[in-house]
Structure 1
Amino acid sequence: MGCGAAKPLKNQSKQGSPCSQPKETRHSSVYLMQETEKIEADYIFHALDPIITRRNYIKKAVSKSNNATRIVKIFNCLNLGSEDKYELESVVNHLLRMKHLNLITTLSYYYNDNKLLLVSEFCEGGNLLSRLDHFSSLQQYNMIDVFCQIMAGVLYLHNQGIAHGNIQLESIVFKEKSMENVKLLDFGIPNSVKSKCLQWRPNGGIQEISFKSPEALRTSGLATAKSDIWSCGCLLYFFLTSHMPFQARDVQTLKTAIQRGIVNFEGSEWSHISPEMKQLVSKMLSSNPQARPTAAEVINNPIFVNRGRILTKPNKQLSKNMKDFKQQSQMQNAMLNYIAENMLQEQDKKKLMEEFQKFDLNKDGLLTKDELLKVYTTMYTSEQANQEVDAIFSKIDQNGSGKIDYQEFVLATIDQKKYFNREKLLLLFQQIDRDHSGQLSKLEVKKLLRDMQVPKEKLDQLSKQLDQDGDGQITQEEFLQIMLSIA
């Protein structure tokens, strides 16, 4: 599934088109559309609460191997032409590689009988629309924290060359029932593809229209970065005042009000809101898209910067793990990623999340050197802090971005002695060995590597690394020896 780096997002780009490749490049890779096993071999479907969604192409599924709850989105590809399939392949390839604290993670896929099934994480906290009663009782600083998490997800999408295009209450979900950690969903798949294989169309209701920008209403919902900023401006206005900036009893009147673009800042609630916050909301809801700030400018606005505070000092053992981290083989990194997604205990997940947030001072879901320095200078002298941070970044920043994302952080801080050992690998083998034969078949190895999100060009190499004698079968002991010997 080849997909090059995301292009800079253009104002009139297709929604969720992360890759713009020459036709011959796209046609050279059809990996995604090769048949896989059926999802029923690994998951049991359950009824999904109608409060969560009424869309019949979204299902809830529970893993047979580890009881993990997932969400499955089912695409009927029967009516897709080859160009649409290549576009869908490119998009899904990108979604599988996108990792951010504030975006729903796509974990794996299945393809058979002209149906593509995308498996993603399940958030038990529900969406914002279904939790409005509880949300409205939160303190306003909690609401602002939710807003900044949303903006962090939007910033990441825009940096990947993707406009969300459908930011509204239903597309914001809470990871837990405590409503502290927020994620965006429903991004990345172009509307043109969704309409062909999901029986999808905008519902056109007042709740959805309320978040549409004037230009999106004029261009049938074409997604742009600036339209996302407008939608986020509507959210911020709503969080501050408990009502939307534009209101009406019917859709047509609402559309007219939005296209006029006159925002009311005269209500009594605004007398308690700082002029700086009012100015930011006003810019985000400017009728001129070019006058709106970027996602980076919003999240780095002085009114939000340094809103985080270090409640306790970072865990010294995790800090030591970061400093001592060493680059592993691609296979071991892929396996650790798989273990982190599928086997990490909830208490360990929570601990890693809390530690990451201690460093993430501006809450954008990424760690910079400056953020680490601010934390480490509370623990060391200035010179020692600089040495520690330089050492950490030289080892952890695998993609050379100058920032550490959550996936890189987890790889560097996970307790490898606890999770990458004979006992855990044996448990993992038993999960993979679906027919309980005591051996992994070629199909099972292929699925493991696919779920580990190994790049297509590395599949053959890593398959051979696992199946060293080439007999197409890997025994339990061979698997343990191979994995434990990887360095």
Structure 2
Amino acid sequence: MGCQASKKQRKTSRDNRPSLLDGSTDLQNKKLIAVETKPQERKSKQPKSLDKNKVVELFQAEHQQIYRNKKFQQDYFITEEKVLINGFQGTIFVVEHKVTGLKRIAKIARNVLTSNQIAEYIEYLQQLKKIDHPNIIKLFDFYHDEKHIYLVEEYIDGGDLSQRLKTEMHSQEKIHVAFVFQQVLSAINYLHQQDIIHKNVSLNGVLVAQKSNLLIKLIGLDDLFYIFQDFNTNFSYRAPETFAENYQYSKSADIWSAGIILFELMYGIHPFQDSTRQLTIQNIKRNNINQEIDVNSISDEAFKLISDMINPDHNMRPSAKECLKYKFFKTIRKSSMKITSALLRVKEFESKNELRLILLSLMIEYLMSKEERDKIAQTFYKIDLNNDGKISKTELYQQYFESSGDENLARKEVERIFSQLDVNKNQFIEFNEFLIASCNKTALFSEENLTSFFNKLDRDHSKQISANELKVFFYNTQLSQSDWQRVIQLGEKKEETNNKISYQEFISLLTEND
């Protein structure tokens, strides 16, 4: 960086590369800006002794006003205010769930939507709640009233990606960049398979899950204003075709935005950023990349992937799935691993019936700690060799065969596991299914957890769970009332059939075989 690059200066072996340096610009080198709360800022904003009954008094009048949503107030305490993330148009808080004590992030924005738009937005959020990928931030709850929208997501504390990589990288091969960018592409690939276009992929929208690892989380999917526009709100990450009139956002525009992220991570500078918005947009449209960048400073494999992802012709860009097959990622080929404690629990898991899986899924969502979720996510990532966000029989077989050395035993074990876990019978184990099997059930099934979870489901405090009470947690399902009755009956003792589950039936159903 900082060196003039010309066609004559390029190495002969790289003459056939696509031209990234057409045009000129006097763009100065600018370091990436990290959005991260400074330690002293965090300390000053968190009270020394938090009286949860008076938590509203911690904030200004405007903050007290947004805390007035009764349903949100029933479920969460606000404990700390955070700095803005990824240009979010609202206020961000750290919150604590009143029942479980788990820490989460609450993003609260003004409700400026029409009645039709709010209905569309709620439908979209329901779709996001079903997203099941370890590299996409989890949306747990949402609320709305006439004045505000409330989004509650999983808590992450690993900081800004670009800053972490500056301190984590140990060689010029930038293996860590390949490792984290593979996770970014895996998340985008998963979304595109679900026919979801992110629209706002940017470096600030890629965060690290926790300080102790480089597990990546893609954020920004649920932000209020994103689904009602057809362009990336961070204009410097927009593909050239998105500036055309009446453009409709496509998956290839997400690929371009991700390519800009990889460019920044490899070269340390944005390729098109200029002194003004107008000049930056002009550079994007004309493919005027900063002439001061030394293109020889990265490997051929990295250059090839970047060139293809930010190809001005959107029809020529590879899909996320195709990108994951590039040679750039060969440097981080996942090493074989012995069966971990998580995999052992997968092996030992036995499912009694569908109701048990439903209850386990809900327990994990509301009670699993962030640390355990992230640890299991890393195991899942290692097994998912093709990075499509799900585990195939072949991928799981490879792990068990490497451990046992017995081909027949490994195949039988995989078939048994899939018969227990593959709930939707799609021939894959998805992340939530893997969480159900591999979580530490000794900790999950503590007396305190079981009691608090039963009380959460028992909305009318009758000391029994009915089909209607359980159904509340599964908005927009295709099950009829009679279907729900049959689901409830799966957990009842035959001699006590009353279309409800008692606490003892609840305990027996969850803890049998554990």
TM class by smaller structure: 0.7 to 0.9
Cross-structure match for 1:23: none
Q: Give the direction of change, closer, same or farther, for the CA distance of 1:389–1:299 in structure 2 (3 Å limit).
A: same
Residue type at the aligned position of 2:479: E
Q: How many Å separate the matches in 2 of 1:266 and 1:389?
A: 53
Cross-structure match for 2:176: 142
| Cα distance per residue 1:222-241 (max 9 Å; x no partner) | 43200000011111111111
Confirm whether residue 405 of structure 1 aligns to residue 430 of structure 2.
yes
Q: How many Å separate the matches in 2 of 1:244 and 1:218?
A: 22
Cross-structure match for 2:368: 344
Cross-structure match for 1:241: 267
Q: How many Å separate the matches in 1 of 2:249 and 2:225?
A: 9
Cross-structure match for 2:421: 396
| Cα distance per residue 1:390-410 (max 9 Å; x no partner) | 333343222233332211111
Q: CA deviation at 1:482?
A: 3.6
Confirm whether residue 93 of structure 1 aligns to residue 126 of structure 2.
yes
Confirm whether residue 183 of structure 1 aligns to residue 207 of structure 2.
no
Q: Write out aligned runs for 1:213-362 (5 A).
A: 213-219=239-245, 222-263=248-289, 267-268=293-294, 270-305=295-330, 307-310=332-335, 312-315=337-340, 318-345=342-369, 348-362=372-386
Q: Give the direction of change, closer, same or farther, for the CA distance of 1:439–1:484 in structure 2 (3 Å limit).
A: same
Q: CA deviation at 1:385?
A: 3.0
Q: Give the direction of change, closer, same or farther, for the CA distance of 1:190–1:427 in structure 2 (3 Å limit).
A: closer
Q: CA deviation at 1:101?
A: 0.5
Residues 393 and 414 of structure 2 are in contact (CA less than 8 Å); yes or no, is this contact kept in structure 1? yes
Residue type at the aligned position of 2:437: A
Count of residue correspondences: 432
Q: TM-score, normalised by structure 1?
A: 0.76
Residue type at the aligned position of 2:211: K
Cross-structure match for 1:166: 200
Q: CA deviation at 1:157?
A: 0.7
Q: Give the direction of change, closer, same or farther, for the CA distance of 1:180–1:221 in structure 2 (3 Å limit).
A: farther
Residue type at the aligned position of 1:340: I
Residues 37 and 110 of structure 1 are in contact (CA less than 8 Å); yes or no, is this contact kept in structure 2? no
Alignment gaps of 5+ in structure 2:
1-68
Q: CA deviation at 1:318?
A: 4.2
Q: CA deviation at 1:326?
A: 3.9
Q: Give the direction of change, closer, same or farther, for the CA distance of 1:271–1:411 in structure 2 (3 Å limit).
A: same
Q: How many Å separate the matches in 2 of 1:311 and 1:230?
A: 32
Q: Write out aligned runs for 1:112-123 (5 A).
A: 112-113=145-146, 115-123=148-156
User: The residue matched to 1:339 in structure 2 has which SS?
Assistant: helix
Residues 242 and 253 of structure 2 are in contact (CA less than 8 Å); yes or no, is this contact kept in structure 1? yes
Residues 373 and 389 of structure 1 are in contact (CA less than 8 Å); yes or no, is this contact kept in structure 2? yes
Q: How many Å separate the matches in 2 of 1:302 and 1:112?
A: 50
Cross-structure match for 1:32: none
Q: Give the direction of change, closer, same or farther, for the CA distance of 1:471–1:117 in structure 2 (3 Å limit).
A: farther
Q: Give the direction of change, closer, same or farther, for the CA distance of 1:220–1:47 in structure 2 (3 Å limit).
A: farther
Residue type at the aligned position of 2:477: P
2:479 to 436, 453, 457: 457
Q: How many Å separate the matches in 2 of 1:256 and 1:137?
A: 34
Q: Write out aligned runs for 1:194-209 (5 A).
A: 208-209=234-235
Residues 142 and 151 of structure 2 are in contact (CA less than 8 Å); yes or no, is this contact kept in structure 1? yes
Residues 361 and 436 of structure 2 are in contact (CA less than 8 Å); yes or no, is this contact kept in structure 1? yes
Residues 69 and 122 of structure 1 are in contact (CA less than 8 Å); yes or no, is this contact kept in structure 2? yes
Alignment gaps of 5+ in structure 1:
1-35
Q: Give the direction of change, closer, same or farther, for the CA distance of 1:211–1:202 in structure 2 (3 Å limit).
A: closer
1:157 to 164, 168, 191: 191
Q: How many Å separate the matches in 2 of 1:347 and 1:308?
A: 25
Q: Give the direction of change, closer, same or farther, for the CA distance of 1:114–1:449 in structure 2 (3 Å limit).
A: farther
Q: Give the direction of change, closer, same or farther, for the CA distance of 1:346–1:90 in structure 2 (3 Å limit).
A: closer
Q: CA deviation at 1:292?
A: 0.2
Residue type at the aligned position of 1:388: E
Q: Give the direction of change, closer, same or farther, for the CA distance of 1:37–1:64 in structure 2 (3 Å limit).
A: same
Q: How many Å separate the matches in 2 of 1:359 and 1:71?
A: 29
Confirm whether residue 41 of structure 1 aligns to residue 74 of structure 2.
yes
User: The residue matched to 2:328 in structure 1 has which SS?
Assistant: coil
Structure 1 or 2, whichever has the larger Rg, is 2
Residue type at the aligned position of 1:38: K
Q: Give the direction of change, closer, same or farther, for the CA distance of 1:149–1:454 in structure 2 (3 Å limit).
A: same
Q: CA deviation at 1:247?
A: 2.9
Q: Give the direction of change, closer, same or farther, for the CA distance of 1:430–1:120 in structure 2 (3 Å limit).
A: same
User: The residue matched to 2:241 in structure 1 has which SS?
Assistant: helix
Cross-structure match for 2:104: 70
Q: Give the direction of change, closer, same or farther, for the CA distance of 1:422–1:67 in structure 2 (3 Å limit).
A: closer
Q: How many Å separate the matches in 1 of 2:194 and 2:356?
A: 26
Single out whichever of 357-366 and 168-177 deviates more from structure 2.
357-366
Residues 309 and 358 of structure 1 are in contact (CA less than 8 Å); yes or no, is this contact kept in structure 2? yes
| Cα distance per residue 1:27-83 (max 9 Å; x no partner) | xxxxxxxxx96211111234422254663254442212222222234465575143x
Q: Give the direction of change, closer, same or farther, for the CA distance of 1:463–1:135 in structure 2 (3 Å limit).
A: farther
Q: Give the direction of change, closer, same or farther, for the CA distance of 1:318–1:382 in structure 2 (3 Å limit).
A: same
Residue type at the aligned position of 2:102: A
Cross-structure match for 2:11: none
Q: Give the direction of change, closer, same or farther, for the CA distance of 1:261–1:190 in structure 2 (3 Å limit).
A: farther
Q: How many Å separate the matches in 2 of 1:153 and 1:104?
A: 10
Residue type at the aligned position of 2:431: Y
Q: How many Å separate the matches in 2 of 1:421 and 1:51?
A: 36
Q: Give the direction of change, closer, same or farther, for the CA distance of 1:221–1:327 in structure 2 (3 Å limit).
A: farther
Residues 74 and 117 of structure 1 are in contact (CA less than 8 Å); yes or no, is this contact kept in structure 2? yes
Single out whichever of 66-75 and 413-422 deviates more from structure 2.
413-422
